[in-house]
A and B are shown apart, each in its own frame.
Chain A
Amino acid sequence: MSKQDWFLIPIFLILCLVPLSGSRFYVFLATDILIFALFAVSLNLLLGYTGLVSFGHAAYFGIGAYACALLMRKASIVFPVSFVAAGLFGALAALIIGFFCVRLTKIYFAMLTLAFSQIVWAAAFKWNSLTGGDTGFIGVPFPQYLDSKTRYYYFTLAVVVVCLFIIRKVVNSPFGRILTTIRENSERTEFIGINVKFFQLVAFIISGFFSALAGALFGIFNHSVFPDFLFWPASAEVLIMTILGGMYSFFGPVVGAAVVLFLRMQITSYTQYWPLILGMILAVLLFFFPGGIVGFLQNRLTLLRGNR
């Protein structure tokens, strides 16, 4: 951990203390935020680091959720194995879908990711015998040893911290650096001797793996899995979190997830027009703060330091 990471320690301590507040509401919200923070950071490995806009990332989240729940309930496989397997299912799906998608660029790439995610959604929606179809797959239990909101919160916190640590390692590795060169100029990257499509595919697989872990966490947290998890608005929501928080910073998507979920929780208690408000926030942000919340704060910080 380098010096500029000092801020992580107090945040981690605060997160550890959340259940002591005694508020079920905050434990619930914090669990939700942690899960979506992991999901958004996974997406950002593609969006902010590799420069690939995936418009169908809910597919991997949903596959993770279904895989973990189904393996536990229908195949009676113990939770830890089901959980890791869910990640692997996500990675496998990303391998298959990514194989086709990385052959396209820009808008075509985005549309193809969307098309594939809709296929996955349709499968979950119609395959009644396996997924429960429209009614969803209800009654996913907490594993016995995690059988309270607080325990599950701590479990989620541990998983998310470990996953973020690993993803951070990856983005700060040579592999991660090459991903940023692909984002900046994929043509030039090919001409330093990099098989760009292969690197994009590997990034896609890693992203799919961690997105599916987030989905698995969410399915259990929710005690049920619905086709909505992998419908396109879910893909849009995680994209919004990532862009709102700031896609050029590692923790930007975490901030985005926290802000979106917190605001949604607050605003939906006053009005049913939450999507309208979210849309306006996003529009303002894209015009005035294209680097997202974190990008904006970083700029301010650099200016302050420069003035001293």
Chain B
Amino acid sequence: MILTVENLKKSFDGFVAVNGVSFSIEKGELCSIIGPNGAGKTTVFNLITGYLPLDEGRVIFNGVDITHMRAYQICRLGMRRSFQRTNIFPRLTVFENVQAALLAYRGKSFNFFTPVETLFREETEAILGRVGLQDHSNAMSGSLSYGFQKQLELGIALASEPDVLLLDEPTAGMSTEETSATIELIGRIAHEKGLTLLFTEHDMEVVFSISERILVLHQGQMITEGSPDEVRTNPDVQKVYLGEAR
């Protein structure tokens, strides 16, 4: 098991957002978390990645207890994430965005005198190529289209060759075309790199097309998990989620 989550609990001012969620993920698995709005998907991500402190529970990553670690420490152990709302460095170029992630990952960030423009040029270009941004290398990232920004975010996350990648709604706000292109891209990269992927997604088609396993959250609790077929036919899921959404 590369990631084990035990009995995660979190409440905000008395509102219980996550109430005893447990699951584990094997190396190389493609898992997704689904659930209606407010089910606690993003909170679960925030708890795992050290973005929020948790009230109760444990998170074990690669055999290390990361429950109380800070976000940057968890990152260094090989877990990366993207954010639901695009999270890039807007007034830097596309190239600089990815290069910064490489600097951090390769331990070059605490270097005061090497001219930064000479570092990791080829590696950066290679990553930009992989996420389909090779032609936008010098563009200000804040002025890119939304779909490109999402791709850039993926590039930033990939720069550090993570073992586990958590993607929070990687296609939120995208057009149908952008969505399928992005999903294809994510699936391809995950297979090439042997990544373990955990993502949340609102688009059911996407979820069922690429997930190997699906976890279903409802009101802060996990109601079931299983293969796409199992989840699709589960009556509880249909009641709380599919029935309500469609």
Contact = CB atoms under 8 A, between A and B. Distances in A.
Interface of A: 169-170, 172-178, 180-181, 184-185, 187-196, 199, 248
Nearest to B110: A175
B201 interface: no
A185 B89 contact: yes
Contact of B105 (A169, A170, A193): A193
B112 interface: yes
B71 interface: yes
Interface residues of B, number: 37
B104 A173 contact: no
A6 to B, nearest CB: 18
A199 B92 CA distance: 18
B23 interface: no
A172 B116 contact: yes
Interface stretch (B28-36, B95-103, B170-178): B95-103
| Secondary structure call for the B interface | loop
Interface of B: 49, 51, 70-72, 75-76, 80-81, 83, 87-92, 96, 99-101, 103-105, 108-117, 119, 156, 159-160
Given A176-B116, A194-B109, 11 more contacts: A169-B113, A172-B115, A174-B108, A180-B89, A187-B87, A188-B88, A188-B156, A192-B100, A192-B104, A194-B72, A248-B91
Contact of B87 (A176, A178, A188): A188
A191 B49 contact: yes
A176 B87 CA distance: 20
A174 B87 contact: no
Shortest 9 CB-CB contacts between residues of A and residues of B: A193-B75, A184-B89, A192-B104, A192-B101, A190-B71, A174-B111, A174-B103, A188-B87, A177-B116
B87 A177 contact: no
A185 B109 contact: no
Contacts of B156: 188, 192
A193 B116 contact: no
Contacts of B49: 191
B96 A177 contact: yes
B135 to A, nearest CB: 19
A190 B87 CA distance: 12
Given A192-B104, A193-B72, A193-B104, A184 B90 contact: yes
A170 B113 contact: yes
Given A180-B92, A185-B87, A191-B49, A170 B112 contact: yes
Nearest to B114: A173
B89 A173 contact: no
A141 B76 CA distance: 53
A192 B105 contact: yes
Nearest to A171: B116
A178 B104 contact: yes
Contact of B100 (A170, A173, A178, A195): A178
Contacts of A195: 70, 72
A178 B109 contact: yes
Contacts of B117: 172
A175 B110 CA distance: 5
Contacts of A199: 109
Nearest to B107: A193
A305 to B, nearest CB: 15
A181 B110 CA distance: 14
Contacts of B112: 169-170, 173, 175-176
A172 B113 CA distance: 8
B160 A193 contact: yes
Contacts of B87: 185, 187-188, 191
Contacts of B51: 191
Contacts of A178: 100, 103-104, 109
